[in-house]
Amino acid sequence: MIANVLVMIRKRSRTVIGAALLSCGLMTPYAALAADCPGNPNALGTSRTLVVDPMEHPRIGTMQYPETLPLADHEVVLTFDDGPLPKYSNQVLAILASQCVKATFFTIGSQARFNPEGVRKLIAAGHTVGTHSQNHPLTMNKMPLERVKQEVDDGIASTLAALNGDKSKLAPFFRIPGLMRAEIPEAYLASQGIQVWSADFPADDWRHISPQRVYDLAIQRIEAKHKGILLLHDIQPRTVAALPRILNTLKERGYRIVHVVPATADRPATPTEPQQWFMHPPTETVATTRWPRIPNFVFTATRALPAPVFADMDWRDADILDHAQRARLGVPVRTAWPQPQPAQLAAVSTLPIPAADVFRVPEALDLTLLAARSAASRRLTQRAAAIPGAPRAQAISARQVRHPKQAAHQLPAAVHGRAHGAPLHVAPPAASNASLRVAKRTPRAEASAVNKRVPD
């Protein structure tokens, strides 16, 4: 009686403390549940069960894939490969049980054939069991589809045989041996509705390293990401030796263990948002590209379109009339060109004075113009000489023509002079054509043209 009262007091005080911690935000809801772990009030426990739909997320684990399990910060999923092997698998089961922790085991078919009781122990302890091929080949990335099928299907069949064919006890989860991923096995597993599990961090416990090193790697890598899937093996003595410390440290540092199970008809997947399946979901401060989805127009699925109604083609709509119709009907004719805006033009009453640089002629162009003007002036002189009564044109002496700069400067005067006494169409076209011809010359021809500028 006294003992019962003491137990009640102890339970009640534990509840009060748990509630107080919860109110302070120092403790997760599950931490109170973990305290109920038989024989271990300080157990790590399993904080929650996550139900996943393999069809929605066929590949997980950031060691190889973009997506991973939708875990919150400081949530860890434990996985154990390559069993069952009684000597070590049973010890792993005992350690997990002592902490009331649920994990996921990926069994090898050949191991299950040798030790079917080991598979049943995993199920009886409430863990999730997936498969890991029949013979653990490390060449699945090079295998043809037929061999991939054989390894996957045989591994499942062997594990199911240990469970008396009860498919409800086997999760459609698969880990490719050695994580030797490839498109063929991934596509085949996806076609079977089986989820491929990579991991977020290993502890290298398959290598010849010490249990201390396994512990260090596990904790360091978990702490680096703060959440994720831990890859371990239940066939290694170093794992058995390191596991208790790993769990204790996780507990001390506020980590929580999540148990993952597959969705079924009776057990819908845990509602999640797509971004939760990424290790680092985009935040408002990170730019993301989310292209709008193409709308599903109804008419894309139809072979015929509705006939337009007559009202849609009403010719009396002034906007659709052409010029001739508008003119015939008396509708004002409108042009497609932008109409001048008198108000805008009037607003520009003055223009800025052009800068002196605008009139500067580049040296090369200057030479070109000079050559053109020299030729023009010669022709002008020759033609002016042939026209009686043109004294200014005749006044351009041969000396002036030989000195191009001077002649050029005088050329406009000569042309103007011609304008009064000779037909204007003679000189300007000649100068213009000469400019065009010179402008098309190559640099070499240009030099030649400059030398020939004064042929005499």
The catalytic residue positions are: 81, 233
**Among candidates 98, 91, 162, which has minimal Cα distance to 129?**
162
**Among candidates 105, 57, 109, 54, which has minimal Cα distance to 77?**
105
314 torsion bin: left (phi>0), alpha (psi -120 to 50), beta (else) = beta
Which of these ranges, 73-81, 97-105, 393-401, 413-421, lies near Zn ion under the rule CB under 5 A? 73-81
Give min distance, CB of 75 to Zn ion, in A.
24
39 torsion bin: left (phi>0), alpha (psi -120 to 50), beta (else) = left
CB-nearer residue toward Zn ion: 81 or 234: 81
CB-nearer residue toward Zn ion: 202 or 404: 202
- What is the identity of the amino acid at 441? R
Give min distance, CB of 144 to Zn ion, in A.
21
State yes or no: residue 67 binds Zn ion (CB under 5 A).
no
Tokens (6 digits) for 231: 């890859």
Tell me the CA distances in angstroms from 16 to 9, 139, 254, one per residue in order. Answer: 10, 56, 20
Rounded-to-integer distance, Cα 273 and Cα 290, Å = 15
Which of these ranges, 80-88, 211-219, 239-247, 309-317, lies near Zn ion under the rule CB under 5 A? 80-88
Q: Are 129 and 105 in contact (CB under 8 A)?
A: yes
State yes or no: residue 234 binds Zn ion (CB under 5 A).
no
Residue 105: CB atoms within 10 Å:
31
- Give the residue closest to Zn ion by C-beta: 81
State yes or no: residue 82 binds Zn ion (CB under 5 A).
yes
CB-nearer residue toward Zn ion: 99 or 131: 131
Spatial neighbors of 368 by CB under 8 A, at least 6 apart, are 435, 438, 439, 446, 449
CB under 8 A, 24+ apart: contacts of 447-453: 449/368, 449/371, 450/367, 450/371, 452/371, 453/367, 453/370, 453/371, 453/374, 453/404
Residues binding Zn ion: what is the number (CB under 5 A)? 3
In which element (H, E) is residue 47 found? strand 46-52
Q: The tokens 């042309």 sit on which residue? A: 415
DSSP structure class, residue 126: T
3-state SS of 223-235 is HHHCCEEEEEECC
Is the CA virtual torsion 362, 365, 366, 367 positive or negative? Answer: positive
**Among candidates 223, 221, 389, 224, which has minimal Cα distance to 232?**
221
Tell me the β-bridge partners of 169. none
The only residue of 28, 77, 79, 81 in contact with Zn ion, by rule CB under 5 A? 81
What's the longest Cα–Cα distance across the chain? 149
Give min distance, CB of 25 to Zn ion, in A.
40
Which of these ranges, 57-65, 78-86, 269-277, 405-413, lies near Zn ion under the rule CB under 5 A? 78-86
Contact positions toward Zn ion, by CB under 5 A? 81-82, 177
